[in-house]
Structure 1
Amino acid sequence: MKVQVLFFASLREALGTAGETLEVGEGCDVAAARALLAARRGEWQRLASPRIRAAVNQALVAEAHGLAEGDELAFFPPVTGG
């Protein structure tokens, strides 16, 4: 199945992309999708950090949240304010 993956803020800059369509297996959850992307090595390994948050269809979710065909999975670093 396919999910749309988006990257925000410093992740977008480090990875050199705002997003992509990712093919994942049935029953895939956020943790598995994150591991699939982080396995690309280099800057992609930033996604393995527990500080990087994930949202599915614009709602914050846990790592065990299951993905469905057409979901939007977004990753973003912690933000600071001031």
Structure 2
Amino acid sequence: MDALNIADLFTEALYIVMILVAVLIVPSLLVGLVVATFQAATQINEQTLSFLPRLMITILVIIFTGPWIVAKVVNYAEKLITNIPYLIS
């Protein structure tokens, strides 16, 4: 196992993590931006008004993209485990 293989595995793992985190975080960020704009326009400074919509969107995103996220992680783990003999030699 040389440095190039390790770098490729690490790069792919970081790419998968980055994609999965982006899928979970971006909708929450967009909803937070909309709520913050609404709060600035109406001068309502209620903390729960910004927290609850972001929480709901995050839960919905987890529900709808959960199977895809698990499939990506399992596919990467399966590929990593099945390639162990080739990586060691």
Is TM > 0.5 for Structure 1 vs Structure 2? Answer: no
Q: Which has the higher strand share?
A: 1
Q: What is the TM-score normalised by the length of structure 2?
A: 0.22
Q: Highest CA radius of gyration, 1 or 2?
A: 2
Q: What is the TM-score normalised by the length of structure 1?
A: 0.24
Q: Which has the higher helix share?
A: 2
